[in-house]
């Protein structure tokens, strides 16, 4: 215990006071000694202030910063980093519940000074509707521990060295975790996957919120690929778009119907097999939820197309946040920070 690295746990929240209570309870209950908790309240109006006041008064001291208006998750995470007193920043979403040894496992890889970013395992809750069944397995998941190029989870369960973060602040408001990992790999640092550091992501989607989420991710993926000099559209996106765009021609020329149906069956079968292998659902669940899975995939593909023409949002890194003012990376905080 004496050799534990000091950690600042950053939680950004907006209008999720009930989920925030569960998240805070899991963070307060960690079997770890040297850590602080920082909560950025992104202009909530649902009772979040009362929850934070209760914890601050009765449980543990918590640093709290209230945004005057809704600034978004990327800005809020950066504000949390600005407030952090420790060398390691651990991010967890306000609708996640951390296992008791989460911080213990998440910090172990930082014993290697080359490790800049560590990601833990994000588990889904039990699905309560067909949309959530379809979404399971949509992301790649792997349990192999060790160095990697990208992380299977995301910023809902992520730790990073503070100095690395403030030197390379993320600017993609949808996929900042991808951006951090890519910059780390390109600059010779190590990104480490740590599946023993587990959080359960208690997010309960319906079809509408799921499609909106995947659309935003699609936009963010195109921005990411353009920034890092990759082809803006990947093979999966091109295949799905080609399939959809070919449907009117198939209807006009019946001679194409049989070969087109054969190609579609092969494409869909391949997607189904991959979905089962990388997800947490059975073959039967994959089959019955497949139409929704295709809608999810198409929504993401549409987002990727929009990302080709839509300009990335600009995150404000001015006087209200962090300024790196000289070549020595000297950091100044503005007077509004407590």
133-162 pLDDT per residue, tens: 877 765 445 567 888 877 766 778 999 999
Return all residues near 223 (Cβ < 8 A) that are at least 6 apart.
172, 174, 175, 307, 312
Mean pLDDT, the chain, rounded, equals 78
Residues 218, 233: Cα–Cα separation, whole Å: 10
Q: Which residues of 31-57 are buried (b: 16+ CB within 10 A; e: fewer)?
A: ebeebbbbbbbbebeeebeebbeebee
Query: Do 338 and 83 touch, CB atoms closer than 8 A?
Result: yes
**Max avg pLDDT among 42-46, 54-58, 314-318:** 42-46
Instruction: Give the range among 103-117, 153-167, 301-315, 321-335 with minimum mean pLDDT.
Output: 321-335
- Quick one: angle between helices 207-227 and 290-309, nearest 10? 40
Indicate whether 43 pLDDT > 50.
Answer: yes
What is the Rg, in whole angstroms, of the alpha carbon atoms belonging to the chain? Answer: 21
Indicate whether 329 pLDDT > 60.
Answer: no
Closest residue by Cα to residue 193 from 137, 138, 239, 151: 151
**Max avg pLDDT among 105-119, 163-177, 299-313:** 105-119
Q: What is the DSSP letter of 256?
A: G
Indicate whether 335 pLDDT > 60.
Answer: no
The whole-number pLDDT of residue 256 equals 64
Q: Confidence class of residue 257 from pLDDT cuts 50, 70 and 90?
A: low
* DSSP string of 115-166, one letter each residue: EEEEEEEEEPPPP-SHHHHHHTTSS------EEESS-SS-TTEEEEEHHHHH
Indicate whether 330 pLDDT > 50.
Answer: no
Indicate whether 16 pLDDT > 70.
Answer: yes
CATH number of 7-206+314-333: 3.90.550.10
CATH 3.90.550.10 domain span(s) along the chain: 7-206+314-333
- Quick one: angle between helices 176-186 and 207-227, nearest 10? 30
Indicate whether 331 pLDDT > 60.
Answer: no
Q: Look at 220 and 45; give whichever has higher pLDDT.
A: 45
The whole-number average pLDDT for the span 89-98 is: 94
Output the CA–CA distances (angstroms, integers) from residue 89 to 10, 36, 269, 307, in the order listed.
7, 10, 42, 30
Read off the tokens for 218. Answer: 């699609």
Query: Do 71 and 311 touch, CB atoms closer than 8 A?
Result: no
């Amino acid at each position: 215990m004496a050799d534990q690295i000091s950690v600042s746990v950053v939680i950004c929240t907006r209008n999720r006071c009930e989920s925030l209570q569960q998240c805070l309870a899991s963070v307060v209950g960690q079997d770890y000694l040297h850590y602080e908790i920082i909560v950025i309240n992104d202009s909530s109006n649902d009772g979040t202030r009362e929850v934070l006041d209760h914890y601050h008064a009765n449980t543990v001291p918590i640093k709290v910063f209230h945004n005057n208006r809704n600034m978004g998750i990327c800005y809020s995470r950066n504000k949390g980093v600005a407030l952090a007193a420790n060398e390691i920043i651990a991010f967890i979403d306000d609708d996640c519940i951390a296992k008791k040894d989460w911080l213990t496992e998440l910090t172990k890889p930082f014993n290697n000074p080359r490790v800049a970013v560590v990601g833990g395992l994000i588990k889904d809750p039990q699905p309560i509707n067909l949309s959530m069944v379809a979404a399971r397995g949509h992301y790649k998941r792997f349990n192999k521990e060790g160095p990697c190029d990208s992380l299977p989870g995301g910023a809902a369960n992520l730790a990073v060295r503070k100095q690395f973060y403030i030197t390379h602040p993320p600017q993609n408001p949808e996929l900042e975790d991808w951006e951090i990992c890519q910059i780390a790999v390109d600059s010779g640092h190590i990104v480490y996957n740590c599946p023993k550091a587990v959080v359960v992501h208690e997010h309960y989607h319906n079809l509408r919120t799921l499609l909106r989420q995947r659309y935003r991710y699609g936009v963010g993926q195109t921005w990411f690929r353009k920034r890092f000099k990759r082809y803006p559209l990947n093979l999966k996106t091109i295949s799905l778009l080609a399939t959809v765009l070919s449907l009117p021609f198939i209807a006009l020329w019946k001679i194409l119907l049989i070969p087109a149906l054969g190609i579609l069956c092969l494409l869909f079968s391949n997607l189904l097999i991959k979905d089962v292998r990388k997800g947490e659902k059975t073959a039967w669940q994959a089959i019955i939820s497949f139409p929704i899975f295709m809608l999810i995939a198409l929504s993401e593909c549409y987002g990727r197309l929009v990302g080709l023409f839509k300009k990335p949002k600009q995150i404000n890194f001015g006087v209200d946040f962090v300024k790196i003012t000289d070549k020595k990376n000297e950091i100044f905080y503005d007077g509004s920070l407590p």
